Structure 1
Amino acid sequence: MKFSENWLRDLVDPAADRAELCHRLTMAGLEVEGVEVLGEGLAGVRVGEIVACEKHPNADKLLVCSVSVGAGEPLQIVCGAPNARLGLKAPVATIGAVLPNGLAIKQAALRGVDSFGMLCSAKELGLDADASGLMELPADAPVGAALADYLALPDASIELKMTPNRPDCLGLRGLAYDVAALFGAPLREVSADAAELRSEAVRSVELAAPADCPRYLGRVVEGVDPTAPSPLWLKERLRRAGLRPISAVVDITAYVMLELGQPMHAFDNDRLDGGIRVRRAAAGEKLALLDGSEVQLDAQFLVIADAARAVALAGIMGGLDSRVTDATTNVFLESAHFAPPAIMGRARKLGMHTDASHRFERGVDPELPRAALERATALLLQIAGGRAGPVVEAVAAGHLPQRGAVVLRRARLARVLGMEVADAEVERILRALGMQVESAAGGWSVTPPSRRFDIEIEEDLIEEVVRVHGYERVPTRSPSGQLRLGLPPEVQVPADRLRAQLVARGYNEAVCYSFVAKDWLQRWSRLDGSVALANPLSADLAVMRTSLLPGLVEALKHNLNRQQERVRLFEIARVFAAGGQGPVETRRIAAVACGRALPEHWGGDKRSIDYFDLKADLETLAGLSSSLASLEFHPAGRPDFHPGRSAEVLMAGRSLGFIGALHPRLLKALDLDQDVYAFELDLDGLAAGRLPAAVELSRFPQVRRDIAVVLPESVSWTQVESVLRRIDPGVLRELVVFDRYSGTGLGSGLKSLAIGLILQDSYRTLTDQDADHFVASALAALERECGGRLRG
C-alpha cells in the first residue's frame, strides 16, 4: 500500500512529524517499508509559460524559447525537449536554483546562444520517473507561482508492508482510523451526498451466484465529456501512490479505490447489451481483458456478463470490448462486494495480480459499495460533467458477512498483557477504531465495524488495545509459576546427532521447499496420496511433497551443473500424505550422493560411489541407536530405484524405506548423465534405539573357525547372517565375510562366501569339539535354509 502523506493528513492530521508518524505506524503493526521524499530542493523553480519558440540557429534539435515567469522580462532558455512548444506551461528552474539531483542552474551558452534557466522534466525535479519530455502543467496553472506551492509540496510517498489480516488499511479511510486512534487526532470522514438524478437510464442487475457476489450496485452516467482531463491534484495523488493517470473516468475509479479501499470498474455503457448478470463462467469460456490478454475460464471463475457475453472478470480485471475509451460519453459504474473465497487464487491461476484482486481476496467492507459509488459519481460529475441515473442494487442479504459482538473481559486483558489499562483508555481506543462499545459484566461487548474482517475473538480485541496503547508499554517480566519440563525419550537418538554423523561422513545438509511441482512427483511415481494446495504461490509449488528425494536430487543437479563433481546432500524434514482427518505428516531422513567414493587425492581411490558406500553411511546412523544388529536389507522393487541395485531397509522386521541407485529411466528424465545413489527412511524408526545395558566382558579366549560356503546367487548375506546368528547367540560373537568368489569351478548361478566365525563363551573356555560342533550346526542350517554346502 503506497500513499501520499499529504493525502493522509487531509483525512487525519496528527500533531507529529513524518518520522514519528512512520514510527508509530510500524509499532502498531503497519510496517513502513519505504519513504520517498518529494518536492524538497525546489526553491527557485517556478511555473513558466513558453510565449515564443524558434529553432536554434546552430542546432537542429534545439529550440530557443522565450519563457514567462510572471514578473520581469521573459527568460531566454535553450531547450531540447521534444514536447517544447508555444503556449506550453512547464516548470522553470531559474538561475541560482539547485535541483534535487544536485544540478546547479547557471547562465550558460549552448551552441553560441545564451540560456538563462532550464525547463524541467518530472524526473529532473525528483517527482516522477518520466524523463521523455518537459513536465506539462495544466493550462490554468498560475504563471510565476512557486512550483512547490502549486503542487502542494513537499510531500512524501509512504509505502506500507501490509499483512493479509488488515485489508481495511488498503484504503486511506481505513488507515486514517488507525492514525486517529494512535494519536488521538480528529478524523474527517470521506463522504458524498447522493447525486441529483438527471437521467432515467438504468441497467437491471441479477445475482446468479449470490454466495460469490452478495451485493452489486450499478449506475449509468450519461453525457460525460471524454476530453475532460483529470485535475492536477488527482493526478498527483495517483502518481504519489504509484499509479499512472490514464483518463478522467479511469482515474476516478482508481482514486476511490485508494481513498476508500473499494475497487470499482467503469464500462462503456453503449457497448453493453441488456442487463448485468453476475454468474460463474462456463467451462472453456474465453474473455479478452484490458491488458490485451485472452484467458480461458472454467466454472471456478466469477464473471460480470451482459445479455450476450462476459464483459469482465469479477474482482480482477475488466474486459477489453467494454472498456472506457477516449470516445466514451455514457458510462456504467460498477461497485460490488465479492466474497473472498470467490476471488482468492483466481488471478494467480491466470498468472496475474491486480489491485482489485489484491483487495477482494483479502476482504472488502460489504457496506462500502454504495458510499464508493456516490463518491465516484460526485467526482465524475465535477470533473467530466454528465447526468447521473438512479442506483440499481441487487443484494442477497443472507450471504453478506455479519460482524457479531465480541466480549472483552477486563481481567483477561490484564492477564494477557501483564498490566492494567484504564477502562477509559480501552474504550477510547476501541471507539476510535470505529467499533461499537457497550459495558458488560466484567468488561465490554464490542461490535467491530463491517470493514474489520480480522476481529472475531477476544484475543483480537486485546491485540487492538495493546498495539494502539503501545507494545513498548508492556512491562518485561519473568514468567511465574511452575514450568513442566519435557525431556526427550532416552532411547530416541536426537536428530542433531544424525546430522552430525552425516556431516562427519562428508555430507552437506540441504533445506528444500515443502511444496513441489505436480510433474515432479509424477516423474518420481510419488503423486498418489499427495495433497494439493488450494491457493498455491505458483504452479511450481502446487503440491505438498510426499518424498524428500525430488527436492534433494534437484539440489544435487543444481550443484553438478556448477562444476561440483562430487556431491553429498542430506535433509531431515517432513513429508505429507492425504489422510481422513487432513494431511498426515511423517518425519523422514534422506540422502543423495554421486561422483567419486572418496575426495580427490593423489594417493586416493578414484572409483565412483556404489551401493555399498551408501549402505555403510546408513549403517553408521543405525549404529548411533544401537540398532545395527536388527538392520536388514531385502531386495525389493520401486519404480524410481534401479531393480538390481536397491533394497528395502528393515529394522526389527519393520520397513523403514529404500536405499539404492536411482532408475536409469528416471535419471534420463531428470537429465542426469551419471549414477545417483539415495536413501530415504522413516526418521522415528531409524532413531528408535534401546537403553544401554552393561554386559560383563568374557575372561575366556575367543575361537575362530573359517568356512567357505557355496550358495545360490539369489541368497543374500542378510539371509546367511540371520541363519548363523540363530544357532547359538550366546556363543557366536562376530561374523566376518573376508572373501567372495563366483566363476570357474562353481557352476552357473552360484557363489562362494568365505566366512569367519568368532566364538566365545562367558563362563568357560571353548574346546575344539565345541567349535567343531558349532561349525557342523552352521553348515547344516545353511544347507537346510539357504541351499548351501561346504566348498571342497
Structure 2
Amino acid sequence: MRLSLAWLADVLPLPAGTTVDQVADTLVQVGQEVEAVHTVPPTTGPLVLGRVLTIEELTGLKKPIRFCTVDVGPGNGPDGSDEPRGIICGARNFVEGDTVVVALPGAVLPGDFAIATRKTYGRISDGMICSVRELGIGTEHDGILVLDRDTPADQIGTDARPLIGAEDTVIELAITPDRGYALSVRGLARDLAAAWDVPFTDPAARVLPDRAQPGWPVTLADPVGCRRFATVRVAGVDPTAPSPFWLRRRLAAAGIRSISLAVDVTNYVMVHLGQPLHAFDADTLSGAIEVRRAVAGETLTTLDGATRKLAAGPDGDLVVADESGPISLAGIMGGASTEIGDGTENVLLEGATWDPPTIARSLRRHRLPSEASRRFERAVDPAIPAAATELAADLLVTYGGGEIVGRSDVQGEPFTPVTITLPLSEPERLAGRPYDRATVVRRLEQVGATVSGSGQDGAVLVTPPSWRPDLTRPADLVEEVARLEGYDTITSVLPVAPAGTGLTPTQRRTRAIAADLASAGLIEVLSFPFVGVAELDALGFGGDDVRRRAVTLANPLDAEKPQLRTSLLPGLVETAQRNLSRGARDLALYEIGSVFLPKANPPTPGKPTVDARPSDAELAVLDAALPQQPLHLAALLAGPGSQERPGWWGAGRPAGWADAIELARRVGRVAGVSLRVVPAEQTPWHPGRCASIRVGDWPIGFAGELAPSVVERLGLPPRTVALEVNLDGLPDPVPAVAPRISPYPAVNLDLAVVVPVGTAAADVQDALRGGGGELLESVRLFDVYTGDRVPAGTKSLAFALQVRAADRTLTAADATAVRDAALAVAGERLGARLRD
C-alpha cells in the first residue's frame, strides 16, 4: 500500500507542522509496517504552467521534431517580457491549446539536468516541455505531461510544483493479512486520527439519492459467496474524455497506471475507500446479471487475454454471469467480452461484497493476483458498496459527462454483528499495564466499535464495526487499545530468573561435545528435519529398515519431504551436496539434533479446542502420542583434505574409516564415557569398514566409511566417512574426578602376540587390560602384521604397555609379571600367543 500524504491530507487534515517522519512514526506506533518513504527529487529554478499556442512540424530530419510556441505567463517570456517562448520538442502526444509543464532557462531538473537556452535544429529552444520522468514524479516517458485543457488562464505562468505533486511524499507500507481495512486511505486516516486524538470524518459516509430506475437487474444465486451487489448505471459518457490530471497523479502515487477515465475512477475509489469496483460496458451485457458458482465446462476469457477453465462445485469459482455466460471472475478480474473500450458510452459500475475464502481459493487456483483480490481476500467493509459506486458515478459524470440513470442494491445473507464481552481487567492482564475504563471505551470507539453499557462483573459489551471482521474476541480488542495507546507506553521489565536454575548436566555435556568437535576443525550445520522417500532410497535404507518407519506430517512444508527424520544423515548429506556443488572440495561437518521415532500403536488424540486449556487427561493422551525424540550427533568428512588440509607443509590427507571411529571415541572422552568399538555391518556404511559404537554391550551408533555405491549415488567424493551416535544413549554425566598422578617412573614394554585373522584388535586390547590389573596404566596398538613370518590364517598385533605403581618404583620383575598376566588372559580368552 502506497500512501500519498497529499491524498491523506484531503481525508484527514494533518495537524500544523506535521512532518513525513512524524506520520511514518505514528503509523509504526499503531502497528503498521513502514517499508520505505519516497520523496520526489527536488527541482530548482523556474518551473511553470504553459499553454501551447502553435506547433510547427520541422521537415527533412531523421526523426519527428516540432517547434512550439508556448505561452508561459506574464513576465516569464524572453528577457522578462510577456511574449511566448519557442521550444523544440520531439513528443507528439499534445496539440495546440494543451496545458503543459515548462522548465525555463535556469531550472535544474532531477538528476542535475540544467535547462538553458540553446540553438538546435536551426531554431532557438528557450526552455523545455517536461515529461513525467523528467520531473521525477513517475516513470512514464512515452510523451510529455499534458495537464487539463480547462486550466484557467490566470494559472498560466504560475509555479507548477503544487499542481503536479512535486512536493508530495509517498509512504510505502506492508499491510498484514488481518488488517485489510488499511489497504485504503480511509483506513489509514482512521488509524492516524485515533493515534493523534483528532476528529475523523468518514469519507464513505454519504446520503444515497433515490433513483427511479434500477442500475441493472441482479439475482444472487449464492447469497453467502456474495452478500451484497450494488450497481449504478451511467449513460452518455464521452468515450474520449481523459482522466483529470489530479486523478492520474494520485493513481501514480499509489503505483497504479492510468488506463481510461472509467477504469481510473474505479481504481481511485478502491484506494480511497478500500472498496474495489468493476466497470462493465453496459451495451455488451445480455439480459439480467446472476451471481453464481461456475458450472462444469465453463470458460472465461479474462481482461489479460487468457482463456481460463472455471472450477465447478460448491467450492468452485464464483462468477458474475449474464445470459451469454460468465462475464467476470468475481472479485478478481473482469471478462474481455464486457471490457470498457475506446467507444464505451454506457457504463455499469459494480461494487460487491465477496466471501474472502472463496476469493482466496480462486486467485490461487488461477494464479491471478490483483489489487481487487488482494483486498477481497482480506475482507472489505460490507457497508460501503453502494456509497463507493455512487462516488465513482459522480466522478464519471463530472469528468466524462452523461447522467446517472439508475441504481440498485441487492442484499444476500445479511451480516450479523458480533457482540464481545470485554472485562475491564482484561487489557491490564494481557498488556501488562493498567488502562482505565474511559481510555478503553474511547480507544474502542475510535476504532469504530460500539460500546454499549456494562456486562457482568464490570465488563463492557463491544460491537466491532463492519470494516473490522478480525475483531472476534476480547484479546483482539485489547490489542486495539494497546496499539492506539502506544506500545511504547508498556514498560519493559526484565524477568528475574529463579535461583538454582541454569543448564542441566546433559545440556552442558552437549555443549562441551559441540565445542570439542568445532575445535577439531568440524563445522556445525543445522538442517531441516524433513525427509522424503528419495533421500532414504539414496542412502540405501531397505524396505524393512527401521529408519523408514517415520512420522508423516499432515501439512508438510515440502510435498516431496513429508516425513520427520529418523536419522541425521540425510540432512547432513544434502548440506554436503549443496556445498560441493558450489565449489567446496574438503568438508568436515557435524550436526547435533533430534530425530523422531514413532511409538508402536500410539493413542489417537482428539483435537483440543483453543478456547480453554486442555484437561490433564487430554494432555496425557497428547504426550503419549508424541514420537520419541532422542538427541543424535552425526558427522561427515569428505574430500582429499578433509582430515589434514594441504599446504606448504605438505600434501593433505583424506579422512578414513579410522578417523570417523576416533571422532566417536573423542565424543566419549568429552562425555566421560569409555566407548567400545566392535566390527559391524549397517547401511549406508561399507560392510568391511564399519564399526558399532557401544557403551558396554549397548550399541549407540555407527562409524566408518560409506559404501561405494552410496557415495556414487549421492555424488560425494570417494572414501567419504560418516558417523552417527545417539547422545541420549550415553550414561548420565557424573562429576569429573581428578586423576591420581604417580610420582614414580613408568616402565614401558612392547608385546607382540599372534591371533587368528578374524580377531578384533580391540578385543585383544580389552583382554590385555583386564589381565594386567591396576598396575597396567595404558595399552596402545602400534603395529599390525600379516605375512610369511606368521602362520597362515593369523596376524601379529604389537602393543605398547605402560606399567606404573602409585606407591613405589617397579622393578623389572614386577613389570614382567604384569605383562605375563596380561598375556595369559588374552591367551585364555582369544587364543593369543607370544610371537616368536
Question: In which range does the TM-score fall when normalised by the shorter chain?
Answer: 0.7 to 0.9
2:829 pairs with 1:781: yes
3-state SS of 2:263 partner: helix
Q: Would the aligned equivalents of 1:703 and 1:771 in 2 still touch at CA under 8 Å?
A: no
What letter corresponds to residue 485 of structure 2 in structure 1? H
What letter corresponds to residue 524 of structure 2 in structure 1? E
Distance of 2:355 and 2:264 partners within structure 1: 22
Q: TM-score w.r.t. structure 2 length? A: 0.77
Distance of 1:354 and 1:548 partners within structure 2: 43
Assess, with a 3 A threshold, how the Cα gap between structure 1 residues 477 and 561 changes in structure 2: closer, same or farther.
closer
Structure 2 partner of 1:623: 669
Distance of 1:654 and 1:360 partners within structure 2: 61
2:751 pairs with 1:706: yes
What letter corresponds to residue 466 of structure 1 in structure 2? A
What letter corresponds to residue 4 of structure 2 in structure 1? S
Structure 2 partner of 1:184: 197
Distance of 1:296 and 1:67 partners within structure 2: 54
3-state SS of 1:391 partner: strand
Distance of 1:762 and 1:23 partners within structure 2: 75
Find the partner of 2:126 among 102, 113, 116: 116
Structure 2 partner of 1:21: 23
Assess, with a 3 A threshold, how the Cα gap between structure 1 residues 17 and 520 changes in structure 2: closer, same or farther.
farther
Assess, with a 3 A threshold, how the Cα gap between structure 1 residues 335 and 418 changes in structure 2: closer, same or farther.
closer
Report matched runs for 1:71-90 at 5 Å: 71=74, 72-90=82-100
Report the more deviating stretch, 85-94 or 652-661. 652-661
Distance of 2:773 and 2:298 partners within structure 1: 74
Find the partner of 2:69 among 66, 69, 73: 66
The alpha carbon displacement at 1:357 in A equals 4.6
The alpha carbon displacement at 1:627 in A equals 2.3
Report matched runs for 1:398-417 at 5 Å: 403-410=418-425, 413-414=427-428
Distance of 1:309 and 1:743 partners within structure 2: 91
Structure 1 partner of 2:588: 568
Distance of 1:280 and 1:743 partners within structure 2: 85
3-state SS of 2:113 partner: coil
Q: TM-score w.r.t. structure 1 length? A: 0.81
Structure 2 partner of 1:215: 227
The alpha carbon displacement at 1:56 in A equals 3.6
3-state SS of 2:589 partner: strand
Structure 2 partner of 1:487: 502
Assess, with a 3 A threshold, how the Cα gap between structure 1 residues 356 and 762 changes in structure 2: closer, same or farther.
farther
What letter corresponds to residue 448 of structure 2 in structure 1? G
Report the more deviating stretch, 773-782 or 523-532. 523-532
2:517 pairs with 1:505: no
Q: Would the aligned equivalents of 1:734 and 1:757 in 2 still touch at CA under 8 Å?
A: yes
Report the more deviating stretch, 3-12 or 347-356. 347-356
Alpha-carbon displacement from aligned partner over 1:515-555 (angstroms, at most 9, x marks no partner): 7899767766799746668595x989998777655555454
Report matched runs for 1:217-232 at 5 Å: 217=229, 219=231, 221=233, 223=235, 225=237, 226-232=239-245
The alpha carbon displacement at 1:159 in A equals 0.8
2:478 pairs with 1:468: no
What letter corresponds to residue 217 of structure 1 in structure 2? F
Equivalences, count: 774
Find the partner of 1:740 among 762, 784, 787: 784
Q: Would the aligned equivalents of 2:132 and 2:141 in 1 still touch at CA under 8 Å?
A: yes
The alpha carbon displacement at 1:75 in A equals 1.8
Q: Would the aligned equivalents of 2:509 and 2:733 in 1 still touch at CA under 8 Å?
A: no
The alpha carbon displacement at 1:181 in A equals 0.8
Q: Would the aligned equivalents of 1:707 and 1:790 in 2 still touch at CA under 8 Å?
A: yes
2:181 pairs with 1:168: yes
Q: Would the aligned equivalents of 2:267 and 2:276 in 1 still touch at CA under 8 Å?
A: yes
3-state SS of 1:52 partner: strand
What letter corresponds to residue 353 of structure 2 in structure 1? A
Distance of 1:668 and 1:271 partners within structure 2: 66
Q: Would the aligned equivalents of 1:281 and 1:301 in 2 still touch at CA under 8 Å?
A: no
Q: Would the aligned equivalents of 2:513 and 2:671 in 1 still touch at CA under 8 Å?
A: no
Please say which structure displays the higher CA radius of gyration. 2
2:273 pairs with 1:255: no
Distance of 1:330 and 1:273 partners within structure 2: 15
Instruction: Give the unaligned 5+ runs of structure 2.
Output: 75-81, 542-546, 605-621
Distance of 1:670 and 1:114 partners within structure 2: 74
Report matched runs for 1:50-61 at 5 Å: 50-56=52-58, 59-61=61-63
What letter corresponds to residue 430 of structure 1 in structure 2? L
2:703 pairs with 1:689: no
Assess, with a 3 A threshold, how the Cα gap between structure 1 residues 105 and 606 changes in structure 2: closer, same or farther.
closer
The alpha carbon displacement at 1:490 in A equals 2.4
Report the more deviating stretch, 666-675 or 233-242. 666-675
Q: Would the aligned equivalents of 1:493 and 1:624 in 2 still touch at CA under 8 Å?
A: no
2:430 pairs with 1:394: no
Structure 1 partner of 2:115: 105
The alpha carbon displacement at 1:217 in A equals 2.8
Assess, with a 3 A threshold, how the Cα gap between structure 1 residues 85 and 619 changes in structure 2: closer, same or farther.
farther
The alpha carbon displacement at 1:45 in A equals 2.5
Q: Would the aligned equivalents of 1:533 and 1:544 in 2 still touch at CA under 8 Å?
A: no
3-state SS of 1:501 partner: helix
Distance of 2:294 and 2:548 partners within structure 1: 30
Distance of 1:128 and 1:780 partners within structure 2: 94
Find the partner of 2:251 among 238, 250, 260: 238
What letter corresponds to residue 258 of structure 1 in structure 2? V
Q: Would the aligned equivalents of 1:93 and 1:105 in 2 still touch at CA under 8 Å?
A: yes
Alpha-carbon displacement from aligned partner over 1:370-418 (angstroms, at most 9, x marks no partner): 65555555555655556445333433x6xx78644142434x5456666
3-state SS of 1:390 partner: strand
Report the more deviating stretch, 128-137 or 656-665. 656-665
The alpha carbon displacement at 1:21 in A equals 1.7
The alignment-based identity, stated in percent, is 31
Distance of 1:515 and 1:150 partners within structure 2: 58
3-state SS of 1:41 partner: coil
Alpha-carbon displacement from aligned partner over 1:198-237 (angstroms, at most 9, x marks no partner): 34632433239x5xx3635364747574544433333222
Structure 2 partner of 1:36: 38
Distance of 1:450 and 1:716 partners within structure 2: 80
Report the more deviating stretch, 178-187 or 482-491. 482-491
Assess, with a 3 A threshold, how the Cα gap between structure 1 residues 76 and 598 changes in structure 2: closer, same or farther.
same
Assess, with a 3 A threshold, how the Cα gap between structure 1 residues 741 and 770 changes in structure 2: closer, same or farther.
closer
Structure 2 partner of 1:448: 464
Distance of 1:312 and 1:518 partners within structure 2: 43
Q: Would the aligned equivalents of 2:234 and 2:393 in 1 still touch at CA under 8 Å?
A: no
